[in-house]
């Protein structure tokens, strides 16, 4: 199997700006969804912002970005009104409302529902204007750019935030004098180049298939669609599978690291969040138009592992992650760590441990035509060869049936 020189793999960059308290301890991070080479934020249209949100949360493990601290992130209007589900758990993110978002009853109702669901709300770039004043009672944080504020305006904005019961956040701080001035008027949170310069984080993402995403959307329109049908579609697309494994690992913070199969991931995510993810993936624009030979080979590896194991679901996940890592040119163990799968899956990928590790080693030996390595697994070469041929035929049949329907 060739590694990624193909258009199935994309490079994703995201900026991270520290938010500190008055003692300059980092208490949160703000995401900059599209950054230049110096880490500076780049203004995005709503469509581009939706693409960037999808690419960021589809690529990165939240802990890699946050180091266990809350993430402040701007979301586009569909997420704020509830048309799309916020793709991150409420204890991991602070939902920022950008200044360009129109404030109306629909938005206020959506923000109230988010607060009722446990999400924290931050009003971004507040300037004291009456148009955005209705946001203050819903805010946990009120941020304002202090770059060009006179001291009197700074005091007024800080007082307005405190009166609303929100923590005032000063952004754009570029000197020790400005930091001290903000601290003296009662500001609690601080951000800007003086506090800490933005960092750029990069990652690689395996593009989901546009075809599979469209088919999933059609199936999800039926509230009675069986989970087995959703599982069938998701498992036919390694790119989408990897995103959903990562999403499921953070959907319940107390269960992080316990995912062993895609069925378990789908059950944890639920149909509403799955629908949101599929829409985001289509918005992203990085989807591949059709399946490729490389993806067929990933599916063949996963299905062969499944056929050879007594417990097929963990073995399928191991085969899938091994193949996805190969296409992406990534370390399988690192991919497992960032996806939040169980220790059983990680150990299988790291050292061939357990039944999933043994069948993966056998399938890899078959792919590489290595009879010595295959014999070391204890599996019969004929059984491995037959399982692989049947799995390859199954994978090709899945893709062809989707293309023809």
State how far the Cα of 89 lies from the Cα of 279, in Å rounded to an integer: 18
| pLDDT tens digits along 162-203 | 999 999 999 999 999 999 999 999 999 999 999 988 888 777
Predicted local confidence at residue 353, as pLDDT = 93
Predicted local confidence at residue 405, as pLDDT = 47
State how far the Cα of 153 lies from the Cα of 157, in Å rounded to an integer: 6
Could you give the dihedral angle defined by the CA atoms of residues 37, 39, 41 and 44, in that order, rounded to the nearest 10 degrees?
Answer: 40
Provide the whole-model pTM: 0.62
Angle formed at CA 232 by CA 228 and CA 235, multiple of 5 degrees: 130
Check pLDDT > 90 for residue 123: yes
Instruction: Please name the residues in contact with 319: beta carbons below 8 A apart, sequence gap of 6 or more.
Output: 301, 302, 303, 304, 305, 306, 359, 360, 363
Predicted local confidence at residue 221, as pLDDT = 61
Q: List C-alpha distances in Å: 237 to 122, 126, 287.
A: 36, 43, 11
Q: pLDDT grade, residue 375 (50/70/90)?
A: very high
Q: pLDDT grade, residue 229 (50/70/90)?
A: confident
Q: Are the CB atoms for 143 and 125 separated by under 8 Å? A: yes
Check pLDDT > 70 for residue 341: yes
User: Where in the chain do CATH 1.10.3210.10 domains reside?
Assistant: 207-404
User: Where in the chain do CATH 3.20.20.450 domains reside?
Assistant: 9-202
Between 95-99, 249-253, 357-361, the lowest mean confidence (pLDDT) is in 249-253
Instruction: Please name the residues in contact with 243: beta carbons below 8 A apart, sequence gap of 6 or more.
Output: 58, 208, 277, 281
Q: pLDDT grade, residue 93 (50/70/90)?
A: very high
Q: Which position has the higher pLDDT, 105 or 255?
A: 105
Q: pLDDT grade, residue 265 (50/70/90)?
A: confident
Question: CATH code for 207-404?
Answer: 1.10.3210.10
Check pLDDT > 50 for residue 261: yes
Q: pLDDT grade, residue 36 (50/70/90)?
A: very low
Q: Are the CB atoms for 250 and 303 separated by under 8 Å? A: no
Check pLDDT > 80 for residue 114: yes
Q: Which of 194-203, 220-229, 269-278 has maximum average pLDDT?
A: 194-203
Q: pLDDT grade, residue 1 (50/70/90)?
A: very low
Predicted local confidence at residue 22, as pLDDT = 93
Instruction: Please name the residues in contact with 89: beta carbons below 8 A apart, sequence gap of 6 or more.
Output: 250, 251, 252, 253
State how far the Cα of 94 lies from the Cα of 82, in Å rounded to an integer: 15
State how far the Cα of 163 lies from the Cα of 167, in Å rounded to an integer: 10
Predicted local confidence at residue 284, as pLDDT = 54
* Tokens 């700074």 found at: 154
DSSP 8: T
Predicted local confidence at residue 177, as pLDDT = 93
Please name the CATH architecture into which domain 9-202 falls.
Answer: Alpha-Beta Barrel (3.20)
> What whole-number percentage of the chain has pLDDT above 90?
39
Q: pLDDT grade, residue 37 (50/70/90)?
A: very low
Q: Which position has the higher pLDDT, 133 or 33?
A: 133
Q: Within 13 Å of residue 131, how many CA atoms lie on the same side as its CB?
A: 9
Average pLDDT, the chain: 81
């Amino acid at each position: 199997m060739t590694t990624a020189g193909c258009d199935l793999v994309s490079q994703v960059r995201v900026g991270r700006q520290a938010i500190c308290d008055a003692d300059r301890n980092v208490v949160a991070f703000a995401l900059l969804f599209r950054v230049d080479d110096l880490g500076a934020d780049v203004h995005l249209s709503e469509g581009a912002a939706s693409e960037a949100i999808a690419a960021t949360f589809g690529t990165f493990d939240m802990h890699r970005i946050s180091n266990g601290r809350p993430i402040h992130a701007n979301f586009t209007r569909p997420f704020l009104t509830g048309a799309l589900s916020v793709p991150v758990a409420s204890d991991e993110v602070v939902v920022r409302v950008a200044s360009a978002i129109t404030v109306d009853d629909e938005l206020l109702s959506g923000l109230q529902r988010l607060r009722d669901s446990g999400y924290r709300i931050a009003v971004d770039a507040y300037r004291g204007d009456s148009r955005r004043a209705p946001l203050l009672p819903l805010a946990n944080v009120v941020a304002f750019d202090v770059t060009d504020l006179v001291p009197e305006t700074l005091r007024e904005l800080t007082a307005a935030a405190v009166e609303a019961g929100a923590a005032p956040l000063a952004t754009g701080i570029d000197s020790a004098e400005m930091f001290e001035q903000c601290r003296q008027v009662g500001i609690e949170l601080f951000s800007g180049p003086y506090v800490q310069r933005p960092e750029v984080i990069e990652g690689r993402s395996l593009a989901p298939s546009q075809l599979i995403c469209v088919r999933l959307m059609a199936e999800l329109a039926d509230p009675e669609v069986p989970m087995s049908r959703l599982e069938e579609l998701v498992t036919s697309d390694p790119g989408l599978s990897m995103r959903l494994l990562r999403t499921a690992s953070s959907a319940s913070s107390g269960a992080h690291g316990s995912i062993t199969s895609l069925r378990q991931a789908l059950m944890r995510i639920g149909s509403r969040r799955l629908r949101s993810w599929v829409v985001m993936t289509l918005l992203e624009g990085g989807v591949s138009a059709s399946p490729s030979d490389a993806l067929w080979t990933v599916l063949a590896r996963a299905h062969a592992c499944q056929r050879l194991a007594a417990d097929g679901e963990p073995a399928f996940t191991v085969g899938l992650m091994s193949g996805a890592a190969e296409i992406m040119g990534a370390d399988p163990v690192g991919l497992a760590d960032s996806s939040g799968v169980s220790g059983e899956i990680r150990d299988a990928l790291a050292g061939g441990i357990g039944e999933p590790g043994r069948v993966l080693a056998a399938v890899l030996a078959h792919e590489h035509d290595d009879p010595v390595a295959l014999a070391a697994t204890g599996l019969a070469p004929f059984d491995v060869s037959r399982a692989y041929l049947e799995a390859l035929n199954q994978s090709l049949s899945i893709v062809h049936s989707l293309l023809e329907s």
